[in-house]
Amino acid sequence: MENNPVITIFESLPSLGPGDDEHTEKAFSIIAEPPEGGGEILDVGCGRGVQTMALARLFPSCRIIATDIHQPFLDVVDEKAAAEGFSGRIKTVCASMDDLPFGEESFDIIWAAGCASIIGIENAVRYWKKLLKPGGYMMISDVFWFTDTPSDEAREFFAEFHPAMMLEDKGFEIIRNAGLELAGSFRLPSRVWEETFYGKMRGKLGELEEEYADDEGALMVIGGLKRQAEIFEKYPDEFGNTYLVMRKPL
């Protein structure tokens, strides 16, 4: 994993993805009946635990298992949990999101911010559904097309950089076909992308290009991120991050 250029570069970035506490709370508020007396939350692909900490604060009685494939990110989560006094409620587990060491129907809530498309949204929804208790909720946020007639520039870029990116409507269809109910959804405002992701990484990418001048894989990831930020600036209505909250029927 240490040789994965995506992880190498993301490890050096100030932010792993767009989003803020306001929108984590907004997604959480769609969950009609948060489990009483605790409840088990699985935070998949938790990165440095930005959302893990927000969930722990929002929902003081829950227990959270935060998983990621990259142990150094989980070490950061453990440090943050200790600093905020959450060590008793947050446990980290290093595991791949498509091969998680948990039994079926283990969780009340599954949270997957900015990572489901790594294994494919359909695979993710169908696999994680099995880990949800009946009546449990799952939140995924990911990048989707908002139009089926994007500009040539955006279409050509994503055909190379993220060919699996799908129309938002296709995401809704995947949820229905998996036998889940859509409890609610919303799009992350483009200003939040700028504030929490692109704006923070712009200066850093120049530095990283120098640092990784001899690493072809890393340079490709850096180039892709630079280009993505430019395209988002030009076509903010064509694609973006959608939060989808779904429920497994009882």
Ligand X SMILES: C[S@@+](CC[C@H](N)C(=O)[O-])C[C@H]1O[C@@H](n2cnc3c(N)ncnc32)[C@H](O)[C@@H]1O
> Which residues of this protein are in contact with ligand X, per CB under 6 A?
7, 16-17, 19, 45-47, 50-51, 68-70, 73, 96-97, 113-115, 118
**Alpha-carbon span 77 to 180, nearest angstrom:** 30
Question: Min. distance of Cβ 97 from ligand X in angstroms?
Answer: 4
Q: With respect to ligand X, which residue has the nearer C-beta, 118 or 175? A: 118
Residue with CB nearest ligand X? Answer: 47
DSSP, collapsed to helix, strand or coil, labels residue 126 as helix
Question: Min. distance of Cβ 111 from ligand X in angstroms?
Answer: 8
Q: With respect to ligand X, which residue has the nearer C-beta, 96 or 147? A: 96
Question: Min. distance of Cβ 190 from ligand X in angstroms?
Answer: 17
Q: With respect to ligand X, which residue has the nearer C-beta, 51 or 92? A: 51
Joined tokens for residue 233: 């600036």
Asked if residue 107 lies in contact with residue 42, where contact means CB atoms within 8 angstroms, the answer is yes
Q: With respect to ligand X, which residue has the nearer C-beta, 179 or 196? A: 196
DSSP, collapsed to helix, strand or coil, labels residue 209 as helix
Q: With respect to ligand X, which residue has the nearer C-beta, 118 or 154? A: 118
Question: Min. distance of Cβ 180 from ligand X in angstroms?
Answer: 20
DSSP, collapsed to helix, strand or coil, labels residue 7 as helix
Question: Min. distance of Cβ 5 from ligand X in angstroms?
Answer: 12
What contacts 249, CB < 8 A, 6 or more positions away? 134, 135, 179, 180, 181
Sign of CA dihedral 10, 123, 161, 220: positive
Asked if residue 142 lies in contact with residue 116, where contact means CB atoms within 8 angstroms, the answer is yes
Joined tokens for residue 119: 């294994």
